[in-house]
Structure 1
Amino acid sequence: MIRVLLAEDQALVLGALAALLSLEGDLDVVGTAADGEAALRLACELRPDVLITDIEMPRLSGLDLAERLRENCPEVKVVIVTTFARAGYLRRALEVGARGYLLKDAPASDLAAAIRRVHAGGRAIDPGLAAEAWGERDPLTERERQVLREAEGGASTAAIAARLGLSEGTVRNYLSEAISKLGCENRIEAARKAREQGWL
């Protein structure tokens, strides 16, 4: 029996996933979580074979969750199931240790097959995205990404500096680098482009 933990913040989707996977004779849904921190706690407590998570989750994103699990509970294999068909997200998911990346519009049978493949030591990647993923690379550093995320929400340079524990000059430098790398005119445009590419 393959033990599965589900992390999804939309209750209806979470319930549907749990119901569908419970119909599979070899899959056992051992728990559900509505946010990333709860999922991390449950994963380290229950030690499921596979964790299914969305990317955009409250309190801890699916990507951050995958990275934390790789550090703290590496035996738990992560499969991302999301609406975001973005090559940048797929690349980042693989970089942080996710073993699978599927889109929510895939048939339920694909998800069950992906869980089995990942549990057996393989990978399960949406085929269309896999081909696209090796196109344009993410040019941003992790710090530039953090600063752009803050700027995307409209935070001032001073507010970003305070939140990230940096000087205002350093924040301006990171923003300037990010804007330049992305070929944009300003921080809002740069944040929008990075978000569209799946780099934020």
Structure 2
Amino acid sequence: MIRVLLAEDQNLVRGALVALLALEDDITVVADVADGRAAVAAAVEHAPDVALLDVEMPVLDGIAATAAIRTRMPGTRVLILTTFGRPGYLRRAMDAGASGFVVKDIEPDRLADAVRRVRAGRTVVDPALAVASLERGLDPLSEREREVLRAAADGATVATLAVRLRLSEGTVRNHLSSAIGKTGARTRAEAVWKARGNGWL
């Protein structure tokens, strides 16, 4: 029996996924939770074979939760299931230790098969997303540039960002300028939009 932990913040979707997986003779859902931090705690408590995680969750996102689960429970494999089929998410998820990445419009039998394949040690990636990831290349942003762009998403001034991030205003300007250049944007708002669209943030 394959023991699965499911983390999905939308109650209706989570309930539907639990019901679908329950139809499989060789899969049992040992825990279902609504955020990334709860997913990490449930992984430690239940030691599932596979953690099926959404990307966009409150408290701790699915990519950060993947890294935490793989660190604390290396025997648990992670399969990312998301509405957001963005190439940058794929790269970041795989770098965090995920064994698979599929989008939510996957057919139910293919989802169950993906769980089985990940449990068996294989890598499962949505083909269209893999092609898009190769076409767009790697995330050009540094971790600090991503941090500054995330903080700038609400339109805060450079002075405010400097206080938030505990950096000098000049350093904030430099990181914003670099991120704008790397994303091919004209403004920082456009840089945030492009980075989010590619799944880099």
Alignment of 1:153-192 (within 5 A): 153-192=154-193
Tell me whether 58-67 or 145-154 shows the greater mean CA deviation.
145-154
The corresponding residue for 1:132 is 132
Alignment of 1:105-144 (within 5 A): 105-136=105-136, 137-144=138-145
Measured on the aligned residues, the alpha-carbon RMSD in Å equals 1.2
Code of the residue aligned with 1:188 in structure 2: it is A
Code of the residue aligned with 2:189 in structure 1: it is I
Code of the residue aligned with 2:171 in structure 1: it is T
Tell me whether 42-51 or 162-171 shows the greater mean CA deviation.
162-171
Q: Quick one: structure 1 residues 155 and 47, their matched pair in 2 at CA, closer, same or farther if it must change by over 3 Å?
A: farther
1:29-65 deviations in whole A, cap 9, x for unaligned? Answer: 0001101111111111211110011110001111111
Q: Quick one: structure 1 residues 160 and 76, their matched pair in 2 at CA, closer, same or farther if it must change by over 3 Å?
A: farther
- Give me the TM-score of the superposition, normalised by structure 2: 0.95
1:78 aligns with 2:78: yes
Cα drift, residue 69 of structure 1: 1.6
Could you tell me how far apart the structure 2 residues matched to 1:151 and 1:129 are?
A: 28
Could you tell me how far apart the structure 1 residues matched to 2:59 and 2:160 are?
A: 20
Cα drift, residue 90 of structure 1: 0.9
The corresponding residue for 2:100 is 100
Tell me whether 128-137 or 54-63 shows the greater mean CA deviation.
128-137
Question: How many residues of Structure 1 are paired with residues of Structure 2 in the alignment?
Answer: 200
Give the match's secondary structure for 1:199: coil
Give the match's secondary structure for 2:29: strand
The corresponding residue for 1:9 is 9
Code of the residue aligned with 1:194 in structure 2: it is A
Cα drift, residue 2 of structure 1: 0.6
Could you tell me how far apart the structure 2 residues matched to 1:33 and 1:157 are?
A: 37
Tell me whether 114-123 or 182-191 shows the greater mean CA deviation.
182-191
Could you tell me how far apart the structure 2 residues matched to 1:131 and 1:146 are?
A: 27
Could you tell me how far apart the structure 2 residues matched to 1:105 and 1:186 are?
A: 34
Cα drift, residue 85 of structure 1: 1.8
Cα drift, residue 161 of structure 1: 2.5
The corresponding residue for 2:194 is 193
Could you tell me how far apart the structure 2 residues matched to 1:161 and 1:67 are?
A: 28
Code of the residue aligned with 2:67 in structure 1: it is E
Give ranges in structure 1 of 5+ residues lacking alignment. Answer: none
Cα drift, residue 97 of structure 1: 0.8
Give ranges in structure 2 of 5+ residues lacking alignment. Answer: none
- Give me the TM-score of the superposition, normalised by structure 1: 0.96
The corresponding residue for 2:64 is 64
Could you tell me how far apart the structure 2 residues matched to 1:8 and 1:45 are?
A: 18
Q: Quick one: structure 1 residues 158 and 70, their matched pair in 2 at CA, closer, same or farther if it must change by over 3 Å?
A: farther
Cα drift, residue 166 of structure 1: 2.1
Code of the residue aligned with 1:172 in structure 2: it is R
